[in-house]
């Protein structure tokens, strides 16, 4: 296409855009994110009838229901799901055009959303909360706990960053944050002179009940270390409690067991066989376009990790 045709096509698109009420885009995004007419109205400062009227206009404009009732809640249509990310990106960019002031944590009042598993939150969540409270006193920290990383953390939960174990896959940009490692845990009733390998071979095991086998148990099997299983637990954070109260032995992550040893009867030994360390990464929401904010939050997370 030559430049004259390109210009004509561009003019046609601008003319079509001029015929659209762009004021509908902000309530549309609020509606798609909140999935509630009442909450979306409160978010953008409209009355509920005004938001309902805007929804009817958006449905006519886009030729789609956008949001439909599903039992007691509301569900987005496939078209609405496809609109969510480009709409958020466009409005974020528009906000930077009309209000180009740089990010200033001293006065910024945004919601800062960080997603991670509960165990990671127990390890680093307090340090993150303390630093954000000190450096961004008007911001609100939103800690989202999740069992696994997925696109939904960014599209639906609106996380700015997800803390994810390095072995967990993600298609999004990621950076290393801190390291963890496997350890052996038991309680004070275990034989004092027994090595970690002896504890694993003689005490009944409490296992995290998950598909497949973790790398430490693969290593034990490779070395033909015999062991017995007493309990299988679906919540990894219950394992240290069971060990503390009922004895036995388990393989767990060092960071969380170190935190829990301050109030549980836990003895921690290094895992006796070579296994890879456990890295924790920062996975960034690719639709967050405020680079100054991302750089600042990255610094907060790195400082929090350094304090562990």
| Range in 15-19, 144-148, 168-172, 203-207 the model is least confident about | 15-19
Question: In the prediction, which pLDDT does 35 show?
Answer: 86
Residue 77 has pLDDT above 60, yes or no: yes
- What's the CATH code of the domain at 227? 3.40.190.10
Q: Looking at residue 73, what is its pLDDT?
A: 79
β partners of residue 186:
267
Looking at the structure of the chain, the number of domains it has is 3
Based on the fold, state whether residues 301 and 248 are members of the same structural domain. Answer: no
Q: Which helix (H) or strand (E) holds 123?
A: none
Residue 136 backbone dihedrals phi, psi, to 5 degrees: -135, 75
Whether residue 168 is contained in a domain is answered as: no
pLDDT band at 257 (very low <50, low <70, confident <90, very high): very high
Is 106 within the bounds of a domain?
Answer: no
Same domain, 142 and 290: yes
C-alpha–C-alpha distance, residues 181 and 273, integer Å: 12
> Residue 204's closest CA among 227, 183, 223?
227
- The verdict on residue 56 lying in a domain is yes
Query: What is d(CA 144, CA 142) in angstroms, rounded to the nearest whole number?
Result: 6
The first and second tokens of residue 135, run together, are 């450096």
The verdict on 229 and 261 lying in the same domain is yes
> Would you state the structure tokens that stand for residue 58, as one six-digit string?
């958006």
Residues 19 and 77 in one domain: yes
Q: What is the mean pLDDT of residues 302-308?
A: 96
Q: Is the pLDDT of residue 259 over 80?
A: yes
**Parent domain of 229:** 182-276
Note whether residue 171 is domain-resident. no
CA–CA separation, 105 vs 159, rounded Å?
Answer: 18
**Alpha-carbon torsion (265, 270, 276, 282), positive or negative:** positive
Is the pLDDT at 62 greater than 80? The verdict is: yes
Residues 290 and 270 occupy one common structural domain:
no
CA dist., res. 91 & res. 26, Å (int): 7
Answer yes or no: is pLDDT of 223 > 50.
Answer: yes
Residues 65 and 214 in one domain: no
| pLDDT for the residue 21 | 67
Contacts of 189 (CB under 8 A, 6+ apart): 247
Average pLDDT over residues 103-120: 92
Strands (E) across 103-165 are located at 111-116, 140-145, 161-165
Question: Domain for residue 177, yes or no?
Answer: no
268 in the same domain as 198: yes
Asked whether residue 103 is assigned to any structural domain, the reply reads no
Sign of the CA dihedral 89, 95, 97, 102? negative
Check if the beta carbon of residue 201 is closer than 8 Å to that of residue 224. no
Kindly state whether residues 292 and 158 are assigned to the same domain: yes
The CATH number of whichever domain residue 22 belongs to comes to 1.10.10.10
Same domain, 32 and 75: yes
């Amino acid at each position: 296409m030559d430049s004259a045709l390109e210009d004509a096509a561009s003019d046609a698109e601008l003319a079509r855009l001029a015929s659209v009420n762009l004021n509908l885009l902000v309530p549309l995004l609020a509606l798609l994110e909140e999935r509630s007419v009442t909450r979306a109205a409160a978010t953008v400062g409209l009355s509920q009838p005004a938001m309902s009227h805007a929804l009817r206009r958006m449905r006519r404009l886009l030729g789609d229901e956008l949001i439909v009732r599903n039992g007691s809640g509301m569900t987005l249509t496939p078209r609405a799901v496809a609109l969510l990310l480009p709409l958020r990106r466009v409005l974020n960019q528009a906000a930077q055009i009309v209000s180009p002031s740089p990010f200033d944590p001293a006065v910024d009042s945004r919601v800062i959303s960080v997603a991670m598993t509960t165990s990671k939150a127990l390890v680093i969540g307090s340090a993150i909360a303390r630093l954000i409270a000190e450096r961004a006193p008007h911001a609100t920290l939103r800690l989202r706990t999740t069992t696994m990383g997925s696109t939904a953390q960014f599209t639906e939960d609106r996380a700015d960053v997800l803390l994810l174990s390095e072995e967990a896959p993600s298609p999004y940009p990621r950076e290393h944050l801190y390291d963890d490692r496997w350890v052996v845990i038991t309680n004070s009733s275990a034989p004092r002179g027994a090595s970690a390998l002896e504890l694993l071979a003689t005490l009944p095991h409490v296992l995290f009940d998950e598909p497949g086998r973790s790398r430490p148990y693969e290593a034990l099997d490779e070395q033909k270390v015999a062991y017995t299983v007493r309990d299988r637990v679906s919540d990894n954070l219950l394992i240290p409690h069971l060990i503390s109260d009922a004895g036995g032995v388990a393989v767990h992550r060092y960071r969380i067991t170190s935190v829990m040893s301050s109030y549980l009867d836990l003895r921690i030994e290094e895992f006796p066989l070579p296994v890879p360390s456990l890295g924790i990464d920062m996975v960034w929401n690719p639709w967050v376009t405020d680079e100054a904010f991302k750089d600042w939050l990255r610094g907060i997370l790195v400082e929090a990790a350094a304090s562990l």
